[in-house]
């Protein structure tokens, strides 16, 4: 199976003095106006960074921030994730497994339609998953469905997902935004949509205009959504303060208080399970020695990372992902221990310290800064870090998943779905090259059990293996912090890690200004 690329370019931040000047120039003569109660009509202008010539409206290959935003608004999956990162129905009325989780039966909601007025049928669902799992052209979500044998329509609104092996996590897999439902005659160049909006216009790297899907099963308030691309955070924040846009996705965390001081602005600060790990390839020296990996974890001052990298907008990590998972473990909190790190390095054959190259890029807010702080902290243990900074396109290019020591970012996911994405041999993003037979055996047992409570012990066994020997350094979980004009309503805290309430613009309105 081919591995899909994954990249995201984000701009650099403004200085505090620069933004203070912009705020003073833009805000003095304008009084803040609250959104009030929901009203119908209006256009929402959203500023984002990271667009490029490869931008897409294809339902199944979103890459950067803008792609994900378009995907969430143009297409619905059978299930989705709510603001608390819980799986909830979207196009499906129900989705249930048989006793051994080898057959999942789905029933569509009554009357769901595409944006051209046609009914969404089981045949469309069948086509959508065949497109995602096409062995000659696998899409982003393909790794979630390696056990999917076939989708068999069984009625006007019903179908069976027949699996080659048990999978108790299948309802989580179909909830990913990368598993949107499209019609059987789908043309990504002229898309017919299943989400709350349809496409009005699209110019890669510049702008996208969405308009309501009048056949969507739920209400929306806006007449239009404009997604406007900006080259960097400097231009993005300038556009917000000068009222060229109504909301922006992601702000430099060091500038939150300064932006909030403008009476016209509101800050949306959401705690999430989003993480910015350091990735050590367990199959390459020096990280093929577990003692080296353990030493690198012990040099990190996690509280200092949260303060210096995230300006306090985050929570401390413990080398384990999925903090919102029902079965998140209560392992002893790993703390900085320079003496023990030195001892482990000496036992691994590095009594005089070690030289490593850390590849970083502005792939997410805080990534480059965390690399710099890590290098300073690691030096105390004799770990001499040479930082190699590349641009985001290079980072997520041909060498992505091949770096010996690098970084990445992940939005909120439960533990088991995250393992599927990054910690087993067929994972599309196995950046640490973790492939342990004992781990895989336990994981196969756990994946077959639908109930989180019943698989708790197995999950803890898997988590303990990764906590003790894995290739991730998970130092913290970053808040998602966005900014918007106070006349924008409907934006709420959202734990998915996706900006602006998870990109759910169907519930946003513009107050009467």
Q: What is the mean pLDDT of the chain?
A: 91
Which ranges constitute the DSSP H helices of 135-229? Answer: 170-173
| Over residues 465-493, mean pLDDT | 96
Question: What tens digit of pLDDT does each residue of 96-111 get?
Answer: 999 889 999 999 999 9
Q: What global pTM score does this model have?
A: 0.83
How many Å apart are CA 235 and CA 219, to the nearest integer? Answer: 33
- The reported pLDDT for the residue numbered 51 is 78
Which of 411, 106, 127 is CA-nearest to residue 272?
411
pLDDT digits (tens, 9 = 90+) for 313-336: 999 999 999 999 999 999 999 999
**Two tokens, residue 257:** 């208080």
Place 375 in a pLDDT band, splitting at 50, 70 and 90: very high
| Helix, strand, coil percent content, the chain, rounded in steps of 5 | 30, 20, 50
Q: Which residues pair with 248 in a beta bridge?
A: 47, 483
Whether the per-residue pLDDT at 25 is higher than 50: the answer is: no
pLDDT at 61 over 70: yes
User: Is the pLDDT at 49 greater than 90, yes or no?
Assistant: no
The tokens describing 134, both together, are 């096409």
User: In the predicted model, what is the mean pLDDT of residues 7-17?
Assistant: 37
Q: Which of 296, 260, 298 is nearest to 278 (CA)?
A: 296
On the question of pLDDT at 5 being above 60, the answer is no
* pLDDT tens track for 403-426: 999 999 898 989 998 998 899 988
Q: What is the mean pLDDT of residues 298-326?
A: 96
**342: left (phi > 0), else alpha (psi -120 to 50), else beta?**
alpha
Window from 4-13, 476-485, 486-495 with minimum mean pLDDT: 4-13
Write down the pLDDT at residue 19. Answer: 53
Residues 82-98 have pLDDT tens digits of 999 889 999 999 999 99
Give the Cα separation of 284 and 323 in Å (integer).
28
Please compute the mean of the pLDDT values over residues 77-82 and round it to a whole number: 95
Whether 2 shows a pLDDT value over 50: the answer reads no
Cα Rg of the chain (Å, integer):
23
Q: Is the pLDDT at 275 greater than 70, yes or no?
A: yes
According to the model, what pLDDT value does residue 21 have? 53
Bridge partners, 45 (sequence order): 226
List of residues 6+ apart from 281 with CB closer than 8 A: 287, 288, 403, 404, 405, 431, 432, 433, 471
Mean pLDDT of 159-170: 93
> What is the rounded average pLDDT of the residues 61-69?
88
Q: What distance in Å separates the CA atoms of residue 257 and residue 401, rounded to the nearest whole number?
A: 36
Find, among 143, 169, 145, 106, the residue nearest to 6 by Cα.
143
Distances (CA, A) of 413 to 4, 85, 86, 309: 19, 8, 10, 22
**Residue 245 CA neighbour count, 13 Å, CB half:** 24
Domains of the chain, each with CATH number or no CATH? 16-73+195-269+481-510 (3.40.190.10), 79-179 (3.90.76.10), 277-474 (3.10.105.10)
Point out the least confidently predicted range of 45-59, 300-314, 324-338.
45-59
User: Other C-beta atoms within 10 Å of 321: how many?
Assistant: 28
Output the pLDDT for position 272.
Answer: 94
- Range in 12-16, 149-153, 322-326, 361-365 the model is least confident about: 12-16
Higher-scoring residue by pLDDT: 267, 428: 267
Place of tokens 């998140």: 328
Q: Give CA torsion, residues 253, 259, 264, 269, to 10 deg.
A: 20
**Confidence class of residue 252 from pLDDT cuts 50, 70 and 90?**
confident
Q: Which of these, 408, 362, 447, lies nearest to 172 by C-alpha position?
A: 447
Contact 94, 171 (CB under 8 A): no
CA angle 128–131–136, rounded 5-degree value: 170
Q: H/E element holding 480?
A: strand 476-485
Tens-place pLDDT, residues 230-248: 888 888 999 999 999 999 9
How many angstroms separate the CA atoms of 213 and 227, rounded?
A: 17
Tokens (6 digits) for 371: 């690399």
Which one has a higher pLDDT value, 444 or 318?
318
The span from the CA of 272 to the CA of 285, in Å, is 33
Q: How confident is the model at residue 33 (pLDDT cuts 50, 70, 90)?
A: confident
Closest CA to 124 of 89, 168, 169, 92: 92
Closest listed residue to residue 285, CA positions, set 339, 338, 336, 354: 354
Q: Does 376 score more than 50 pLDDT?
A: yes
User: What percent of the chain shows pLDDT beyond 70?
Assistant: 94
Is the per-residue pLDDT at 1 higher than 50? no
Crossing angle for the helix pair 302-310 and 367-378, to the nearest 10 degrees: 140
CA dihedral 206, 204, 53, 366 (to 10 degrees): 60
Write the CB contacts of 422 (distance below 8 Å, at least 6 apart in sequence). Answer: 410, 429, 430, 431, 432
pLDDT of residue 6: 36
Pairing of strands 92-97, 103-108: antiparallel
Q: What is the pLDDT of residue 397?
A: 83
Burial zone of 61 (CB within 10 Å; 0-12 exposed, 13-18 middle, 19+ buried): buried
Backbone angles phi, psi at 96, to 5 degrees: -130, 150
Q: What is the pLDDT of residue 4?
A: 36
Q: Is the Cβ–Cβ distance between 159 and 149 less than 8 Å?
A: no
| The pLDDT value given to residue 30 | 52
Largest Cα–Cα distance of the chain, in whole Å? Answer: 70
Q: Which of 502, 416, 501, 495 is nearest to 463 (CA)?
A: 416
pLDDT value at position 10? 30
**In sequence order, what are the beta bridge partners of 461?**
none
Q: Which pLDDT does position 11 carry in this prediction?
A: 30
pLDDT at residue 7 is higher than 60: no
Is the predicted pLDDT of residue 31 greater than 70, yes or no? no
**Strand (E) positions, 164-231?**
197-203, 207-212, 224-230
CB 197 within 8 A of CB 77: no
């Amino acid at each position: 199976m081919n591995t899909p690329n994954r990249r995201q370019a984000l701009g650099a931040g403004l200085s505090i003095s620069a933004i203070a000047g912009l705020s003073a120039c833009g805000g003095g003569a304008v009084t803040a106006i609250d959104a009030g109660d929901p009203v119908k009509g209006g256009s929402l202008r959203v500023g984002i960074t990271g667009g490029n010539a490869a931008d897409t409206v294809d339902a199944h290959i979103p890459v950067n921030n803008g792609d994900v935003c378009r995907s969430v608004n143009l297409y619905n999956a059978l299930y989705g994730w709510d603001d608390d990162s819980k799986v909830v129905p979207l196009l499906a009325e129900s989705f249930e497994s048989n006793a051994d989780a080898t057959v999942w039966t789905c029933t569509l909601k009554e009357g769901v339609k595409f944006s051209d007025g046609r009914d969404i049928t089981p045949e469309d669902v069948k086509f959508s998953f065949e497109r995602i799992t096409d062995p000659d052209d696998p899409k982003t979500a393909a790794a979630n469905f390696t056990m999917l044998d076939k989708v068999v329509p069984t009625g006007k609104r019903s179908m069976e997902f027949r699996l080659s092996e048990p999978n108790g996590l299948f309802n989580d897999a179909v909830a990913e935004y990368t598993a949107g439902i499209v019609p059987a005659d789908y043309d990504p160049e002229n898309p017919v949509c299943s989400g709350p909006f349809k496409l009005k216009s699209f110019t890669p790297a510049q702008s996208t205009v969405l308009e309501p899907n009048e056949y969507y099963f739920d209400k929306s308030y806006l007449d239009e959504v404009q997604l406007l691309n900006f080259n960097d955070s400097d231009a993005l924040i300038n556009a917000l303060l000068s009222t060229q846009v109504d909301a922006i996705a992601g702000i430099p965390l060091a500038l939150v208080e300064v932006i909030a001081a403008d009476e016209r602005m509101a800050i949306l600060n959401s705690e999430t399970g989003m993480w910015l790990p350091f990735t050590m390839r367990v199959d390459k020296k020096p990280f093929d020695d577990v003692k080296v990996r353990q030493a690198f974890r012990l040099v990190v001052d996690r509280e200092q990372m949260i303060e210096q990298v995230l300006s306090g907008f985050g929570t401390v990590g413990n080398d384990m992902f999925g903090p919102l998972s029902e079965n998140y473990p209560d392992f002893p909190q790993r703390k900085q221990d320079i003496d023990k790190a030195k001892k482990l390095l000496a036992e691994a054959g590095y009594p005089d310290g070690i030289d490593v190259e850390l590849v970083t890029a502005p792939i997410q807010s805080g990534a480059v800064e965390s690399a710099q702080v890590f290098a300073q902290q690691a030096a105390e243990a004799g770990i001499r870090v040479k930082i190699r900074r590349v641009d985001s396109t290079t980072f997520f290019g041909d060498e992505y998943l091949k770096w010996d020591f690098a970084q990445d970012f992940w939005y909120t996911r439960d533990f088991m779905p995250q393992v599927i994405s990054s910690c087993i041999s067929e994972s599309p993003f196995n950046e640490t090259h973790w492939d342990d037979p004992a781990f895989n055996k336990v994981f196969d047992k756990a994946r077959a059990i639908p109930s989180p409570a019943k698989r708790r012990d197995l999950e803890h066994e898997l988590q303990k293996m990764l906590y003790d020997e894995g290739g991730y350094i998970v130092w913290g979980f970053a808040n998602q912090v966005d900014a918007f004009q106070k006349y924008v309503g409907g934006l709420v805290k959202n734990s998915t890690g996706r900006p602006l309430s998870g990109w759910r613009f169907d519930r946003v309105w513009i107050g009467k200004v």
